[in-house]
Amino acid sequence: MSQVEDLAKRSREASILLRRATPGSKSAAIKAMGARLKSRLPDILEANKADVDQAKTERLSDAKMDRLRLDEKRIDEVAKALEAVGSQPDPVGKVFDERKAPSGIICKRVRVPIGVILMIFESRPNVTAEAAALCLRAGNSVLLKGGHEAARTNRMIATCLQGAVAQEGLPSDAVQMVEGGHETVDELLLLDRWIDLVIPRGGEGLIRSVVEKARMPVIKHYKGNCHVYVDEMADPIMARTVVLNAKTQRPGTCNAAEKLLIHERVAEKLLPQIAERLLKAGVKLRGDDAARRLIKDMKVATEQDWTEEYLDLIMSVKVVKDLDEAIRHINTYGSAHTDAIVTGNEMTARRFLNEVDSSSVMWNCSTRLADGGQYGLGAEIGISTERLHARGPMGAEELTCLKWVVTGNGQLRQ
Amino acid sequence: MSQVEDLAKRSREASILLRRATPGSKSAAIKAMGARLKSRLPDILEANKADVDQAKTERLSDAKMDRLRLDEKRIDEVAKALEAVGSQPDPVGKVFDERKAPSGIICKRVRVPIGVILMIFESRPNVTAEAAALCLRAGNSVLLKGGHEAARTNRMIATCLQGAVAQEGLPSDAVQMVEGGHETVDELLLLDRWIDLVIPRGGEGLIRSVVEKARMPVIKHYKGNCHVYVDEMADPIMARTVVLNAKTQRPGTCNAAEKLLIHERVAEKLLPQIAERLLKAGVKLRGDDAARRLIKDMKVATEQDWTEEYLDLIMSVKVVKDLDEAIRHINTYGSAHTDAIVTGNEMTARRFLNEVDSSSVMWNCSTRLADGGQYGLGAEIGISTERLHARGPMGAEELTCLKWVVTGNGQLRQ
């Protein structure tokens, strides 16, 4: 057995022990994770600084640098998130539904852990800790494979996490960091005997490669090419503030808006007001012909722009004829992640909400609200662009599965 | 665009129209499917006879012949199942949960169709109609790829189904039969742009090959190496009847029991009684040394026997020391499909139900009850051995996914 397979097998063994862990011991371990991150803050920041310094020499994009960089505030946020995950109810053992079948057997579905989860991510070392905590909350072992650009930070964080797990009497192999390059990942992706699920988080290339190679199910956290559609019945102030917030509040995230669609009847009046604020916030605008007639300082948007996720202060603008064109454009070029309409017309909104086929569809609010915390679900492992199992913000509950528990008194099949 | 891709693209286009179909029109189309199958019964049986005759020359196993063969009773059963699916509530549009988040946005999850589903199956032409009906119930287009041994039967059934769909004003491309061999399937498995989900039903080789090649999610209906464990506290009569029913009521199905585990303290008394009935029903027994000391006419069970799904009148028997050994054996050699315990001891049962990691775990009833109809879910598309999305019997509801619908009044991310 190779070293990589041994790692995966130990993860499976830990997951079998975890199935019997009490909610209390899991809570304690998760809270201890947060406490250790805070107590080792200087070491983590030092490791992160070394990673950031190296990344600078490798000329990472601003968005990627933003994802990589940790400071006391972000670690505090992570610790708070872990505290919250440690306090949230344990999904394991929850009865999903229960029924008495015609033969008299009682059939119920009960939440149980999935087993072993492989997380693969680029940058974002804060994800390491939250991912581990959520997997543990749901009784799963986790294999964490971070990007090489965050290697030192991740190693330091993993030390804290494993220490916390062991301290509470749980198997430390339940949280393991995977070191190594592409070959290691490729080998892991064949081990469906030991690994039940892969969650890749990163660029399109990484995700495509995982999907092609993996023998186990993959939950993709794919790109967010999110739209705001400003309808002819939009409140002008709401339209301005929602677009500005959706684009600029944190442009490096997958739920930031990348595209603005605006109804032709209000484009002349509203687009200049919206564009002014976006330009002032440093957003570079691209547009179709109609938009460019209204706004100077707008480059032409190419076909590629309509599908692209910028993760940056860039926004493309299209003037549309009506709701139908907006819906068709979003369903054709969008990434089925999060799309919003601003309108005062309920009928228009209902059609948008029904017909746009995205994991989150929104009416009169910012796409940046597509988030487990904002939805009131607690911490999230990410926003799934999968249709199956988990769609949209994915928390601890989505890291469990349902098992049928059937009790009878001698029933047979007739 | 190749002919195969064109087929898939038309399926996608039909699925977009289906999203807007009313529950009533879907119900009517499904019921019309059943009516057409009954009115074309002679043609279907004639096509099936031709398939069966050819299969005989190809020496199919008895279990496979059983799956292939249709008669009036089976078609009646299918028509009844379609009638039931046509009458069952539409899962699309059902609100799964709803909450008001701290910012004041209202977040709800609503069931929506998945999109386009590719079903690949060997033999079992009755599955064709039920699969199509369930996909349509949930608002999905379906591509049906049947086995070559049922080609004539499937073609005739598909004609009935498409006619019924068109008659009710729905797009006939919503139900399409895929003709062609392995290359056709291989090409379809790359078309994740048009196809959202693959459900293969058949032997291990077929399923492994689909998992390796598919770019879209796969829900496996894998083998059922099901166990009945007769505990030391089992009621003797219940033990006999449950084992006999689980093994012989229909041995060609995935929820038929393949293995009998029996506690050593009761083996001497109960095993001869159970074996006598099994032998009388024509079951060939294999066993470990301890079992063979108690029963003549028992071949030795090899290591391979413990993992094998016979789908035939064969059963392997093992005498175990205690509950722990039974659980460990099932979790090691089983297929995590359906496993049952017969015992009068509730503590023992609880441990078995908690620790056996299978899609259905049962106490004091026959494994043959692991079935959507028996659980009161209506018709099933099969029994998923997947952990994600759908585990166990999979009905129309499992053929939908959840979309977040969020409404606000100008909320922004702070």
3-state secondary structure of A279: helix
Q: Is A364's CB within 8 Å of B99's CB? A: no
Q: Which of 85-114 (B) contact A at CB < 8 A?
A: 99-103, 105, 107, 109, 112, 114
Query: What stretches of B297-383 show up as alpha helix (H) in DSSP?
Result: 303-307, 323-333, 346-355
pLDDT digits (tens, 9 = 90+) for B107-162: 999 999 999 999 998 767 878 898 999 999 999 999 999 988 899 999 999 999 99
Nearest to B387 among A115, A371, A410 (CB): A115
Per cent of chain B over pLDDT 90 is 86
Sign of torsion, CA A197 A198 A204 A205? Answer: negative
List the domains of chain A with CATH numbers.
Answer: 3-222+385-407 (3.40.605.10), 226-369 (3.40.309.10)
The count of residues in chain A is 414
Provide the chain A residues 369-398 that lie in CB contact (below 8 A) with chain B: 369-371, 374-376, 386-389, 391-393
Q: Which B residues, 228 through 247, put their C-beta within 8 Å of a C-beta on chain A?
A: 235, 238, 241-242, 245
A412 with B249: Cβ contact below 8 A: yes
pLDDT in tens, B260-305: 999 999 999 999 999 999 999 999 999 999 999 999 889 999 999 9
ipTM above 0.90, yes or no: yes
Please report the number of interchain residue pairs, chain A to chain B, with beta-carbon separation below 8 angstroms.
219
Query: B193 touching A, CB under 8 A?
Result: no
Partner A contacted by B217 (CB < 8 A): yes
pLDDT tens-digit readout, A318-350:
999 999 999 999 999 999 999 999 999 999 999
According to the model, what pLDDT value does residue A262 have?
A: 98
Residue B378 pLDDT: 79
In this predicted structure, the answer to whether residue A377 has a pLDDT above a threshold of 90 is no
A20: chain B residues, CB-CB within 8 Å: 355
Taking an 8 Å cut-off on Cβ atoms, the answer to whether B357 and A392 are in contact is no
Interface test with B, best of A17, A103, A335, A374 (most B CBs within 10 A): A374
Report B:118-137 residues touching A (Cβ under 8 A). none
Chain B residues inside the 8 Å CB shell of A403: 357-361, 391-392
Tell me how crowded residue B302 is: count the other CB atoms within 10 A of its CB.
10
Q: Is the pLDDT of residue A401 over 90?
A: yes
Would you call A290 an interface residue with chain B, using a CB distance cutoff of 8 Å?
A: no
- What phi-psi label fits residue A93: left (phi over 0), alpha (psi between -120 and 50 degrees) or beta? left
Q: How confident is the model at residue A353 (pLDDT cuts 50, 70, 90)?
A: very high
Long-range contacts of A292-295 (CB under 8 A, 24+ apart): A294/A267, A294/A268, A294/A319, A295/A271
pLDDT in tens, B63-97: 788 889 999 999 999 999 899 999 999 999 999 99
| pLDDT(A63) > 80 | no
Tens-place pLDDT, residues A262-283: 999 999 999 999 999 999 999 9
How much is the pLDDT for B376? 85
Contact flag B215-A219 (C-beta cutoff 8 Å): no
pLDDT of residue A243: 98
Given pLDDT bands bounded at 50, 70 and 90, which one contains residue A238?
very high
Percent of chain A with pLDDT strictly greater than 90: 86
> Taking CB atoms and an 8 Å limit, are A242 and B410 in contact across chains?
yes
Structure tokens at B51: 């398939």
pLDDT on residue B369: 97
Q: Which of B261, B324, B406 is nearest to A342 (CA)?
A: B406
CA proximity to A358, closest of A227, A204, A210, A218: A227
Average pLDDT value over all residues in chain A:
94
For the entire predicted model, the pTM comes to: 0.91
Is B250 in contact with A219 (Cβ distance < 8 A)?
no
